[in-house]
Structure 1
């Protein structure tokens, strides 16, 4: 398989922090950044320095860690924003401007050509100070394509290092994203970035579709946190790249610990069914499934839990089979003859049907009821 030509820009510390109610301390930002660097993420967007003096200090703290990753920050097309970015010591500034008629009409009340000209002046100003520039089109997915192409063409002329396409309100389907990104990639000479929101639940799929269409820089957040319904999830995008894009250079064993860290720092929990990092991502109850997994885990797991830094778990309940129970009994240090094993299985199923949690302690009690004695 020929691997997709991509890099990751994780925006947890900026767009992820825009999740309502979330605020990271400087220490939390640096710890998250260090783990992202261990994974091999190439670009870390550390924040929005113009927000406040404290935010600028936090961005500067990340920039001064000496990580392998390049450090980026966000800036509006305003000189004060760019100055704050320069003072924070970042490697790259993401200068964004709204490009859709809807956004320009309500946010600027000015002709879009004027808005573009001012943004390009800030691209020049940033380059004059020796920083890389990512020229980002906000609400690109709802922008008429001819004007969007003009924005990118003029950004190239002014030396933008990267051109960014934002599906700001998650308006696209994966097929729409692929077709649109393919057209843009063929028309421009600079690397394209894909920044996808999850309003219709398609951010990860759209990001992978963009990568397959030729997008270079893919934007993610840990656990998919972000405004409204969030962003493309780092863990899902990286596993998708690993399994479908032939991209095997990232150390995915940090994904579950990093997910848990961000849950703790952000206060935003994740669903048990969440792909890759959810509690049930590698948890099995069905007797048919577990019997097959005990023979070969690939029968019911597309990728192994060890890849992403976690372990497989079996749950006992109404769907439990004999092989699964035998495995769990042995794990606890017991051996049951066939008759007693079947008795315990009946009790397990009965409790499962009554919605009783079957913990290790509960299973040991059931074993002792039919057999007694200490573990072998």
Structure 2
């Protein structure tokens, strides 16, 4: 992803050049900007191969700090089915080490086949991951959190079949094992001893129903993406903890003007049974409520409402303005408007290919100012 950072630097430099030229003609300014965008496009084309792109990886978020590594990514269509019929599939493989001393290996296959009637998603993640624990609840005992470290392996397998236009159903399997090897002595994690404080093993089966009629999977401007999911973790599947988790993810995309659109999301998570603290419903992070540390607020139930306004600026460059609010609760009746936590921000986008795959740089304000640098849209 080093190429993404180069492109962003070129973009910022380009704006400086465009608006500092002493030449008074707009034509000269436009030519200068065009040259820089042409150079950015050439960098993307140079590093991207016909099938695979092998690139340095650069990520940034409050949870990881700066992360450096290598990534291979392939965007393809299964068995050569028609471009106008089949959605693109992706296979990224990433090895990353962060300035927070976190090491992560991930690979995730997102596969469309049979003229979009079959969908498969599988993810493998192996990590050595120092992280932070803040406690449980919408009001937490520490605003700074305390450190702990875990080595974990995670896998999920998800298959869905299209039964009628836009409606998919199918099973899901999840497995995760954690070895927590470093805790603060007598801290809030060791002292409070929430379920999973000394490690965990979970294994569960579930089912999902999804309505998906987006016009583009990377950069939708109209349509719906709605998913209802249920996961059950049981001892007969090899799980040390017995619990159920239900999620509702509702998204609507509205095109307003040419190259401008709204994206709206209403996300809910409900947990019953004896769930380890790692699998309680939580908010924060790069996907839900940017500007809040991921997992800073966690409890049995959580909800997040998000909205983005996206618009094109020039060629492959776009801007996003976003806002969100959310909370966690022990009981459903505890959800209150006055308990909502809010945030907002602005983001830059650079389109990498004709499919609409973007790199993004977001600046968010919640209970902290935070920066996020990565791939794909949030909603």
TM-score by length of 2: 0.30
In proportion to residue count, which structure has more strand? 2
- Asked which structure has the greater RCO (Cα within 8 Å, sep 6+), the reply is 1
TM-score by length of 1: 0.30
Q: Larger C-alpha radius of gyration, 1 or 2?
A: 1
